[in-house]
Amino acid sequence: MKTGLAWILTLLVAGLTVPGTTQGAEKVLKMSTTTSTENSGLLDVLLPEFTKETGIQIKVLAKGTGAAIRDGMDGNVDIIFVHAKEREEKFVSDGYGAYRLAVMHNDFVILGPAADPAGVKGTHDAAKALKKIAIRKARFVSRGDDSGTHTKEKALWKATGLPLKTETTEIVKQGKRQQVFSQHPEGLGQWYLSIGQGMGKTLTYAEEKQAYTVADRGTYLKYKFGRKQGLDLKILCQGDPELFNPYGIIPINPTRHPHVKFKWADRLAEWLVSPKAQGLIARYKIAGQQAFFPDAIANAR
Amino acid sequence: MDFLIDSFLSAMLLIGSLDPGLLEIIGVSLKVSCTSTLIASVIGVPGGFIIAFSEFPMKRLLITILNTLLALPTVVVGLFVYAFISRRGIFGVFDLLYTPKAMIIGQVILIIPIVATFTISAVSRIDDRYRKTALTVGANLFQTAWMLVREARFGIAAAIIAAFGRVIAEVGISMMLGGNVRGFTRTMTTAMALEYDKGQFVLSVALGIALLGVSFAVNLFFNYFQGKVRV
Amino acid sequence: MLYELRNLKKIYDGRTVLDLEQLSLDRGKITSLLGPNGAGKTTLLEIMAFLSGPSSGEVWFEQEKVNFTTGKLMHLRRKVVLVEQQSILFTTRVWKNVAFPLRIRGASKAKRERIVEELLDLVGMGAFGHARAHKLSGGETQRVAIARALACFPEVVLLDEPTANVDVENQIAIERIMQEINQKKGISVIFTTHNMIQASRLADETVFLYEGKVARSIYENIFSGHIETERNGCKQCILQYGLKLGVDSPKSGPVRISIDPSAVKISQSRANASAENTFKGKLIQLTDEQSRVRALVDVGIPLSVLIPKEVFGDLGLEMGAEVWLTCPVESIEVF
């Protein structure tokens, strides 16, 4: 009885301390990425290959782009892998990131119910497609979570030329009042549904409500073909260059956060743009379709 | 430390300026939580009462099951209800998913065990002489029951407060069945989860403080009400 | 006949707490159920209040057989009200407690106010109408509980040990109320007590209860003993301290007996030496009880004897005197 208890205690203690001790024994890198990247399944192909080559294990924390970038700013992770180019560049120029490498891109698509009540099908211009949805007040689901996809969606709404509603919330940051803006078309809570959730949930939501939404192709393919009960939603608008979605990898700047494992992060970034990883990306298919397009120019910094 | 001060000041600013976005979120939270608490009470209080005062086979088992359901995780309720009201579920045609109604259904299921078990223990503690006295002075069954509910009112009020506390603070059901739709089903807790996801910790904490404030106000109200009826 | 109980049994957890062959109680009287703790008095009152049913047997109320199983007892309960030994008042004002029976009977507000005031005055609690019921003392609670019971306008009031938990002042008040409602309102009053003097002071009739059974005689002369059959076929009950009593009973082995104190004969000389069951004793206590005198005589065991006043006067007994007691076989009950 006593030995049994001791065993349990030992197991518990071991369980509790393992994450701490791995720093010494194993090489573990923390990476924040976006939910859409993780949902696409690409990381499940890439990362084991990297671990096999280098012995470096990667702990993936999937969040919205905003939270992922925030993790990087706070030094909570060693590297971030996101898709919001402008914000990424600012992240590097502000000194949080060491550098940014363009890894690949996929593209966004505008999805909707097969019935297509707003008549979006066949429209190539993404902004025009959204305008049609707004005019018909057809249900539209927005991620509303400050993610890369949401950022892209907001840019598209701006391009429609429709009057947008800006909401400001005042917060205090470092003792100073600051304003946080959020923009969205009229009709919030009626036809424009801002749900503040990840890509997967947004797709599920749009499917449930048979609503329009903007999604990245990778996640869409995975949800459409990669599951037993695939989505009924259809791609109604694609191919507009405005819908391209570049992914960048950014190791955290070790001068800002000395505790980060820059050496390994650097290794991962370099590996992702290596011909081998780029090949893996190009060959990665969801339901027989290419989901990501490699962007790397070797050794470009 | 700065972070906490910032959050606190932001919270004060949000609440002080009666930020419409915040009011909207608090409004949805209160509306949904109050409705579910009300419905759960209407079912749970008489239900608990009947269980406490009637004898039937499996009574102990039923009470044990109810006690187990006290620990019901919100995501289990969320999933269960989801399966029924999703577009492909049997109640899919009612288009309930991601509406306040769906949240209310989930929350009612979540807290009926709380209201019922608290009621059972509150009325079981009532001295049997209250029942006998009511009967002997000529009360019918309903009047006797009413008298017992009156005597157990503090326990029953505690049941309702606990239930309300559980729903206003839960996030699983609100997120899964409400969908966190801004201005429609976004509650204080789902908003907090979202602001956290967005990396807006300050807003998240500010909402947390607002939530505490609202809960405190509701409890003050209940306390005042309890004080009033303490005759 | 108000109540008629036949072969009534009440069994709790395999223990028979009440076992009454036959008991009839009259209307319009004050009846006391006299017995020690555990005699089944409270159980009997609850059955008579239709609050709990017997395990077997019949209860007839006003020539109607009471059916406890169908649960349709409200019309009966509205005629009979029980005031418990330690009454509880509802957690509200005194006034509302007394008004409750009126309200559930649909009395108008004006009527309620008038009656509540009247009843609170009757029990001497007129000044307490707005007091919180739970702040009252035991005696005050009991008086309010009686007022509440009277607000039912009952035909029968059952009181369980009405003065057991109250001070002398409240005891006098409660006894006065019991007599008043019987005499002025014609309500049948049935109360339990373990106080023999209270029973004889208040009650028109007294029923003795002992261990769930009706005892024909008063309960205080109760002894345990052992019945043996003599060679001549006579039965003798041997009590503690070796006292032997001739008895007439089919039973044998360990028994309890009671001796009716009014049937015991007392004299100053060994008048009839040949008479059975004659013992010499010493008079140790005398109590005046209205028309009778109670004498306690030590014959090895203390034996209580009731003597009519005229007889007592003729005897001219004094404390400490040596007396002879004769207990006729009929005065001894074996159970």
Q: Report pLDDT digits (tens) over C120-141.
A: 999 999 999 999 998 998 889 9
Mean pLDDT in chain C? Answer: 87
What average pLDDT score do residues C304-309 get? Answer: 86
- pLDDT tens string A178-206: 776 778 888 888 899 999 888 888 999 99
> Does B132 reach chain A within 8 Å, measured CB to CB?
no
Q: What is the ipTM of this complex?
A: 0.72
The phi, psi pair for C207, rounded to 5°, reads -110, 130
- The Cα–Cα gap between A214 and A243 comes to 9
- Higher-confidence residue of A221 and A228: namely A221
Determine which of A208-222, C1-15, C91-105, C309-323 has the lowest per-residue pLDDT on average: C309-323
| All partners of chain C with 3 or more CB pairs under 8 angstroms | B
Could you identify the residue written with the tokens 């789902």? B190
Q: Which of C94, C100, C155 to mutate to test the interface with B (most CBs of B within 10 A)?
A: C100
Expressed in percent and rounded to 5, the helix, strand and coil fractions of chain B are 80, 0, 20
Structure tokens at B72: 């019901």
CA distance C29 to C36: 22
CATH code assigned at B74: 1.10.3720.10
What confidence category does residue B229 fall into, taking pLDDT thresholds of 50, 70 and 90? low
- Return mean pLDDT, chain A: 85
Domain identity same for C211 and C283: no
Output Rg (C-alpha) for chain B, integer angstroms: 20
Contacts of C147 (CB under 8 A, 6+ apart): C98, C116, C119, C120, C122, C123, C125
Q: What is the CATH number of the domain that holds C306?
A: 2.40.50.100
- Of C159, C193, C215, the last residue of a domain is C215
Write out the residue range of the structural domain in which residue B118 sits.
2-229
For residues C178 and C47, state if they share a domain: yes
Of C215, C242, C275, which residue is a domain's last? C215
- Cross-chain Cβ contact C77/B136 below 8 Å: yes
Contact of B10 with chain A, judged by CB distance below 8 Å, is answered with: yes
Residue A201 has φ and ψ, to the nearest 5°, of -65, -35
What is the distance in angstroms between the Cα of B178 and the nearest Cα belonging to chain A? 9
Q: Above 60 in pLDDT, residue C44? A: yes
pLDDT reading at B86 higher than 80? yes
Looking only at the bridges linking them, the beta strands covering A244-251 and A79-82 are: antiparallel
Whether residues A195 and B181 touch (CB distance < 8 A) is answered with yes
CA dist A12 and C245 (Å) reads 80
pLDDT of residue A296: 79
Domain identity same for C173 and C232: no
- A139 in Cβ contact with A211 (< 8 Å): yes
Closest chain B C-alpha to A298 CA, distance in angstroms: 33
Q: Chains meeting B at 3+ CB pairs closer than 8 A?
A: A, C
Chains A and C touching, counted as 3 or more CB pairs less than 8 Å apart: no
- Give per-residue pLDDT as tens, A158-173: 999 888 888 777 777 6
Domain around C279: 222-334
Structure confidence by residue, pLDDT tens digits, C59-99? 999 988 998 887 688 889 999 999 999 999 999 999 999 99
Q: Is the CB of residue B186 less than 8 Å away from at least one CB of chain A?
A: yes
pLDDT band at A16 (very low <50, low <70, confident <90, very high): very low
> In angstroms, rounded to a whole number, what is the distance separating the alpha carbons of residues A232 and A225?
10
Name the domain count of chain C: 2
Mean pLDDT of A6-28: 52
- Would you say how long chain B is, in residues? 231
C-alpha span between B109 and B76 (Å, rounded):
11
Q: Which pTM does this prediction carry? A: 0.70
**So what's the pLDDT on residue A111?**
95
- Sequence length of chain A is 301
Domain count along chain B: 1
pLDDT band at B231 (very low <50, low <70, confident <90, very high): very low
pLDDT at C175: 93
Instruction: Give whole-number Cα distances, A133 to A115, A214, A236, B88, in Å.
Output: 13, 12, 12, 25
Using CA atoms, how far apart are residues A232 and A213, in angstroms rounded to an integer? 13
Choose the final residue of a domain: C180, C215, C250: C215
Residue C246 sits in the same domain as residue C180: no
Give the mean pLDDT of A238-256: 91
Note whether C286 and C326 are same-domain residues: yes
For A149, B79, C52, the CA distances from B75, given in Å and listed in that order, are 27, 6, 48
* 8 Å CB contact of C84 and B150: no
- Among A129-143, A196-210, B106-120, C226-240, the minimum mean pLDDT is found in C226-240
B185 SS3 class: coil
Report how far residue A68's alpha carbon sits from residue B114's, in angstroms, rounded to the nearest whole number.
38
Residue A4 pLDDT class (50, 70, 90 cuts): low
Domains and CATH numbers, chain A: 22-106+246-294 (3.40.190.10), 108-244 (3.40.190.10)
Instruction: State the CB neighbour count (10 A cutoff) for residue A220.
Output: 26
Q: State the average pLDDT over residues A145-149.
A: 82
Alpha-helical segments (H) within B152-187: 153-169, 172-173
B59 Cβ contact partners less than 8 Å away, ≥ 6 residues apart: B51
Q: Minimal Cα–Cα distance from B140 to chain C, Å?
A: 7
B159 alpha-carbon distance from chain centroid: 10
Contact A196 B186 (CB under 8 A): yes
In this model, does residue A298 exceed pLDDT 60? Answer: no
Q: How far apart are CA A1 and CA B6, in angstroms?
A: 52
CB contact under 8 A, A172 and B196: no
Higher pLDDT, B108 or C254: B108
- Whether residue C236 is found in the same domain as residue C117: no
- What mean pLDDT comes out for the span B28-41? 95
Query: Is C137 found in the same domain as C57?
Result: yes
Cα B5 versus chain centre, distance: 31
Backbone φ and ψ for C50, nearest 5 degrees, come out as 60, 30
Look at residue C266 in the predicted model and tell me its pLDDT: 87
Tell which of A74, A169, A192 to mutate to test the B interface (max B CBs under 10 Å). Answer: A169
Note the pLDDT of residue A15.
47
Kindly tell me if the per-residue pLDDT of A21 is higher than 80. Answer: no
Q: What is the pLDDT confidence band of residue C249, given thresholds at 50, 70 and 90?
A: confident
Look at residue B66 and tell me whether its pLDDT is greater than 70.
yes
| Cα separation of the two ends of chain B | 47
SS3 call for A166: strand
Q: What is the CATH number of the domain that holds C107?
A: 3.40.50.300
Is the pLDDT higher at B76 or at C249? B76
**pLDDT tens-place string over residues A252-276:** 999 999 999 999 999 999 999 999 9
